[in-house]
Amino acid sequence: MNRSFNRIASVLVVMAIMIACNIYTFIPIYGNIASSLSIPQSEVVMAGSSFIFFYACGLLTFANGADRFGKKEILAWGMLASAISTWLVGMSGDFLSLFFLRGIQGFCLGSFAPVAFAYTYDLFSGRKRTLLLAFINSGFLSAGIFGQILSEGITRYSNWTFVFFYFAVVYGSLFLIARQTLPSTSTRFVSVSQQIITMYRLLMRKELMFCYGIVLTLLSSFVAYYDSLTRYLSGSPGLLFLIRVVGLIGVCLSLFTGRLLEAIGVYKTLFIGVTISITSVSIAFIYVHKSEPFIIVLSSILFVSAISLLIPTVITLIGDMSGEDRSQALSLYSFTLLAGTSLAPIVVMQLTYVQSLFMLLGCFLFNAWMGGLLYAWGSKWKMKD
């Protein structure tokens, strides 16, 4: 059983990292793509937002089809569709082709996240389930840094198109591995009308809406933080590289989320994450007035640590609150997460670095407010602190 768990976990975590990398590949190479296609950088940002919006749509579509067609089949064939669409992105020749092909790629990549979460619940229970969910989330978060490093590195030594050719080969390989490695799970017929009714019922629950309010800002804050920082430190590529690499240290905190939840409860864990996030943004303000590299590196580590703690904590809240409707609730989580993220690059592009920091501070204060409402309504869903 342990050998089977290790094999399945390894495949799912690698999938999580490689898929999530493509959310961030555009951030360090906006200028390269714009120059290559002779288009304004703002149009490249729009193409990036197209990816995230259609990725969010894919999350809802494939999550609702997983019960009928099988989770393994969605995960595996989704990789093949992702390989084809990703290769086509590398062949884009103008804004329109980049915009639409990047959107199609995002839709195909949406076949993974909520299906993988539900697949984990089907295959494992107890500590194994908690551990695998933590590993998958760690993979998503580390991809936020790794994707930028990989994209910038490949572009520096070749051309931006090879970033997508590389990922296409990786996705094709993962398709073959998933077909051979992942076990099948049972399927069941769920009508579209039943799925719509279930989602409507979930959206009418106030406690879940408080959670989704937090979710709306999480990944968008992550993108906004590094997008604004990339432009602010555009003349210091060495420092940017250091900030991204060292920021990976913060991902490790997500591996201890399960122990924190058991030791101090879900609400205290949530507020620790919010406190760390506010601290990291406050430190970034200090860097603006006192440009010591150590200050912004520390801010990066704390920022990634906060998001690493908040995401699995909110997933735990949503999973426990939704009960048998967990698959639909988690697909709404994934959709909300990415819907907010699709707006981040467009908004941040219009702001200075300091204005971006004020926006981030506002997001995390909003999270604190939502967390307070969750705590106040705690007795409604009988969650223990």
Q: What is the mean pLDDT of residues 54-76?
A: 80
What region does 70 belong to: left with phi over 0, alpha with psi -120 to 50, or beta?
A: left
What lies within 8 Å, CB to CB, of 194 at 6+ separation is none
pLDDT value of residue 250:
81
pLDDT > 70? residue 332: yes
The CATH class given to the 1-190 domain equals mainly alpha
The CATH 1.20.1250.20 portion of the chain extends over: 1-190, 205-385
- Residue 200, Cβ neighbours under 10 Å: how many? 9
DSSP string, 319-372: HHHHGGGHHHHHHHHHHHHHHHHHHHHHHHHTS-HHHHHHHHHHHHHHHHHHHH
* Confidence band, pLDDT 50/70/90 cuts, at residue 171: very high
Whole-structure pTM value: 0.76
pLDDT value of residue 383:
45
- Could you give the percent of the chain with pLDDT greater than 90? 25
Domain 205-385 has CATH 1.20.1250.20: yes
